[in-house]
Structures are given as C-alpha cells and as structure tokens.
C-alpha cells in the first residue's frame, strides 16, 4: 500500500513536470548563462585556475559546476513550494492530505518525488556542460548521486516548509527573492570561501552558516571521489530539521495550516 501510494505521488509529479516543459528549459537556462557568459569575467578576476580544498587545479568553469547544479535544485525546491501553494488554493492538496496514509509519509513521498525530478534536471545540465567541454571526473558523475539526493531533499524540505507559511500565490515572488538569491550568492557556489574571506570576514562567516554552502561543497567533493564529512553532517541535520518543521507546519492540529484556517 505504501509503495503504491509513493508511486502514485511520483507519477503525479512526473506528469506535472512533463506538461511544464518550460520548467526544464528555465531550470537549464540560468546555470548555462552563468557557465557560458559570466564565467569569463569571474575567471579573469579569480585567475585561470584555482585550488579548492581538495588540492586540485581546475578551471573556474569546472569549479562552479557543483554550485550551478545546486542552483537547479534550489529553484526546483522553490517550484515545489509554489505547486503546494497552488494545490492548496485549488483544493487538490486537501484531497491528497485526507488520504488514509499517514500525512508525514505523504509529505516525504512528495519530497522524494521532487528530489528525483531535481536530479533529472541536474544530469541534463551535466550533459550539456559536457558537450561544452566543461567536464569533471567521469566516475564522479556516479559517485555524486548520494550527494545530489541529499541536497535535493534539503532544498525540497526548505521549499515545503516555506509553502506552509505562504498563504497566496502572489506572495511567492517575494519569498523567492528573500530566500533563493541570498542563499545562492552567500555561498561557495560561484567563488571559493577563501576569496570571500579576503574581501570580508563577516560575509565569510555568513557563508559558513549557510546550509546551501555545505550542500554545494558536498557535491563538489563527491564529483572528485572524495567525502566531506562536515558538509554531509550539516546537510543531513538541516534536512531533518526542515523536514520535521514542514511536517509540523502541515499538521492541522498544531501547524501553520490550523493558524490559516483559524484566521
């Protein structure tokens, strides 16, 4: 019964994604612009090659590949929160949550389905980057799967948590600007933290406390067959916290849903 329910949720998300092909295109255009256009300027500022923590000389384009993969999953997580708000307004989410299956299981199933879609988009981006001769280690594309899954769950859980606070679709754009762009720019997605520290000490520490930074570093190390224990720990703990808060937020007895109905 649980497996049938999960497959049903997964099929629903895949069908929605298939019917919204522009979603895939928009998810790929943003990172490809950073990769093709902006990388030239950043490379000139940071040098032809940089030395990441794993002591390997790589070009700037290769360095930002993990960060851009994280951006794809970050925007997909926010898209998932948008779909939850839309479903709540249309009433379809109410039908889903009144299922006889436990509500936490339904929410986690939606998280896993969204994570699967995020990973499909990331590998589509990897394929295009490969054609543009921006390539990591071949084995790394397999070793990075667990890191991508954990990151997708982290960002999906954050989106799910935000959707419990967003009352109307009109408020979604403001939340996007308030959450997505600070998380993206105040991280190691586009530039190494040691460069940030040279510029500003307090910005460096903000980046260190940004969970997206650790998710990006987890992906970056995994692409080169290495394991970053600290990044994995921070990403895993934040995923559990965001997921727990999202489940609480959708609890009609205690969470945000009750407050909205009461208001």
pLDDT one digit per residue (tens) for the chain, 263 residues: 778 877 877 888 778 777 776 666 776 777 877 777 766 666 555 554 444 444 555 677 778 888 889 988 988 888 777 777 666 666 666 666 667 778 788 888 888 888 898 898 899 899 988 888 888 888 889 999 999 999 999 998 998 888 777 766 666 667 777 888 888 888 888 877 877 787 788 888 999 999 999 999 999 889 888 889 999 999 999 999 999 998 888 776 655 555 444 44
pLDDT of residue 48: 45
pLDDT of residue 147: 95
Place of tokens 């921006």: 134
d(CA 31, CA 156): 19
pLDDT of residue 46: 54
pLDDT of residue 110: 85
Assign residue 57 a region (left: φ > 0; alpha: ψ between -120 and 50; beta: otherwise): beta
pLDDT of residue 172: 66
pLDDT of residue 209: 92
Q: How many domains are there within the chain? A: 1
pLDDT of residue 168: 66
Q: Which domain holds residue 107?
A: 2-262
Q: Where are the beta strands (DSSP E) in 53-163?
A: 58-59
């Amino acid at each position: 019964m649980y497996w049938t329910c999960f497959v049903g949720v997964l099929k629903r998300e895949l069908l929605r994604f298939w019917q919204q092909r522009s979603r895939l295109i928009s998810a790929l255009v943003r990172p490809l612009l950073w990769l093709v256009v902006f990388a030239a300027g950043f490379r000139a500022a940071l040098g032809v090659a940089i030395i990441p923590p794993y002591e390997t000389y790589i070009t700037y384009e290769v360095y930002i590949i993990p960060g851009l993969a994280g951006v794809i999953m970050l925007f997909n997580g926010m898209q998932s929160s948008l779909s939850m708000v839309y479903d709540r307004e249309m009433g379809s989410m109410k039908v889903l949550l009144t299922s006889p299956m436990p509500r936490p299981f339904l929410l986690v199933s939606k998280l896993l389905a969204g994570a699967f879609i995020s990973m499909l988009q990331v590998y589509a981006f990897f394929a295009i980057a490969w054609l543009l001769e921006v390539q990591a280690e071949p084995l790394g594309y397999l070793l990075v799967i667990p890191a991508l899954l954990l990151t997708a769950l982290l960002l999906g859980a954050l989106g799910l948590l935000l959707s419990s606070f967003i009352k109307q679709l009109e408020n979604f754009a403001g939340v996007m600007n308030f959450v997505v762009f600070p998380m993206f720019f105040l991280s190691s997605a586009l530039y190494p933290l040691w460069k940030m520290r040279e510029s500003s000490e307090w910005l460096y520490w903000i980046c260190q406390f940004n969970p997206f930074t650790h998710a990006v570093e987890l992906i970056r190390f995994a692409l080169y067959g290495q394991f970053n224990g600290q990044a994995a720990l921070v990403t895993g703990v934040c995923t559990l916290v965001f997921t727990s808060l999202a489940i609480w937020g959708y609890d009609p007895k205690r969470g945000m849903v009750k407050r909205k109905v009461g208001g």
